[in-house]
Structure 1
């Protein structure tokens, strides 16, 4: 990664990624992944998925230095989050069978590592969030939307389907009935309805500002606790897991617990 002039700041510009459209900024303990293709309303091409994968890998590489501790996912231009996968490339898949699996795998190879990052990932959604844009938001841990955010999962309008990992995340978040409603009906829903069914957790006029404030707050907490709690949340639907018992027991021997107890006692004096 290339360091910027300000201490604690690392910026990777769009041009440093395959075909651009992505910027990462790591300021102290918070990383921001920004979509930067307003001409296509941030539609993701095959190269764009590779760029996102590279961005997530860069964040992973920075973890060893103790940062970042939280991630914000947003778009640079107002009024648009992600309009989905690039329609021109999707259309080309009809005639070029050799591109179909690589396109699917490129999506998976970007979204799965994003979902598996050990720190909280918060998506700030303003405006369009369609198709693969919803899949991108689902890979985050929390979603904050502005009142003008609009959501739709319309593959049935195009005669195609949705990647199985993204269907699974949608079902886990909004339950099967609402997932079926979105997938089978392909209708647009607004931010209020998205919040009602659990697709987003917060509606705020300034989604990006709210996401950044939440990320900064989370970044002050124990990274080992956040990583363990994120694992517990992900595995909760699977029932009892002895590995989570071990995480609970072993946390008491960790450095973060010692620091947390010392800070608590200092505040109590």
Structure 2
């Protein structure tokens, strides 16, 4: 069932012990917030599965034109919840950390999302948090935010798709530096190497991200979707099918009511009212 118009909360996970997600939608903009304050918004398996469900619901709603990803309070996400690895089951054995099922579901939903994703980053953005942020089309962060991939310090391998995203954003040299040393960098350096799209002061972050989302939401939805698909095709590995899909979306724009509305609004010197048709 699609969310109602206006400001509408969507369900996240029920378990406060292992964190939750909160989601709302209003004026064409969806918001998904990671909430796990006791662990600096570390992403548990439950949170990842619930976030994937929210994103899938947003994708089914044509009124949603952009989605903002953020963390509750003063941090984005401090990585996967490695505390899950320390828990023991009834047989006395250690349970696994964040399961491939949880991460896979979340990243598949992020990859499948066909409208702009904006990551609003303050505080810590580490490990799995970086992986989530890299799947956003636009990453806006504060100057004093903290980025890092501590996989080498905890003895795990950063997954291939996440390394691909990192290399695409910052290049092999900077990716090697971050992965080999597991060092942390601030928002200024993250912006310099391409990990962050825009940089702002902490007090301006919410307004900066909201303004960007509103600007996107006011543009022609079919054109924005076509642009996102084309960018994905250009940078992706399986180019032929992706380019074919992008071209279909571009052709759809040319024949749309929005294209006619855009031309008419230009002639009449007024703001266009796009319907996504």
Q: TM-score, normalised by structure 1?
A: 0.87
Displacement of 1:60 in angstroms is 1.7
Question: Could you tell me which residue of structure 1 aligns to residue 81 of structure 2?
Answer: 86
Which blocks of at least 5 consecutive residues in structure 2 are unaligned? 271-277
Query: CA 1:96–1:222 in 2, change beyond 3 Å: closer, same or farther?
Result: farther
1:111 pairs with 2:107? yes
Question: Could you tell me which residue of structure 1 aligns to residue 47 of structure 2?
Answer: 48
Question: Could you tell me which residue of structure 2 aligns to residue 179 of structure 1?
Answer: 175
Question: Could you tell me which residue of structure 2 aligns to residue 218 of structure 1?
Answer: 216
Question: Could you tell me which residue of structure 1 aligns to residue 67 of structure 2?
Answer: 71
User: RCO higher in 1 or 2 (8 Å CA, sep ≥ 6)?
Assistant: 1
Aligned runs of 1:25-174 on 2, under 5 Å? 25-63=24-62, 67-78=63-74, 80-91=75-86, 99=96, 103-174=99-170
Displacement of 1:242 in angstroms is 4.3
Question: Could you tell me which residue of structure 1 aligns to residue 194 of structure 2?
Answer: 198
Structure 1: distance between partners of 2:80 and 2:137: 21
Structure 2: distance between partners of 1:14 and 1:105: 18
Displacement of 1:17 in angstroms is 7.6
Task: Give the aligned CA root-mean-square deviation in angstroms.
Answer: 2.5
Give the secondary-structure state (helix, strand or coil) at the position aligned to 1:111: helix
1:254 pairs with 2:256? yes
Question: Could you tell me which residue of structure 1 aligns to residue 274 of structure 2?
Answer: none
Give the secondary-structure state (helix, strand or coil) at the position aligned to 1:23: strand
Query: CA 1:233–1:2 in 2, change beyond 3 Å: closer, same or farther?
Result: closer
Displacement of 1:103 in angstroms is 0.7
Query: CA 1:163–1:9 in 2, change beyond 3 Å: closer, same or farther?
Result: same
Displacement of 1:213 in angstroms is 1.1
Query: CA 1:151–1:92 in 2, change beyond 3 Å: closer, same or farther?
Result: same
Structure 2: distance between partners of 1:17 and 1:26: 22
Moved more, 248-257 or 232-241: 232-241
Give the secondary-structure state (helix, strand or coil) at the position aligned to 2:69: strand
Displacement of 1:52 in angstroms is 1.0
Displacement of 1:246 in angstroms is 4.0
Give the secondary-structure state (helix, strand or coil) at the position aligned to 1:68: coil
User: How many residue pairs are counted as aligned between the two chains?
Assistant: 260
Structure 1: distance between partners of 2:66 and 2:119: 11
Which blocks of at least 5 consecutive residues in structure 1 are unaligned? none
The answer on whether the counterparts of 1:14 and 1:36 sit within 8 Å (CA) in structure 2 is no
Displacement of 1:176 in angstroms is 1.3
Query: CA 1:17–1:70 in 2, change beyond 3 Å: closer, same or farther?
Result: farther
The answer on whether the counterparts of 1:118 and 1:226 sit within 8 Å (CA) in structure 2 is no
Structure 2: distance between partners of 1:243 and 1:133: 30
The answer on whether the counterparts of 2:41 and 2:76 sit within 8 Å (CA) in structure 1 is yes
Question: Could you tell me which residue of structure 2 aligns to residue 21 of structure 1?
Answer: 20
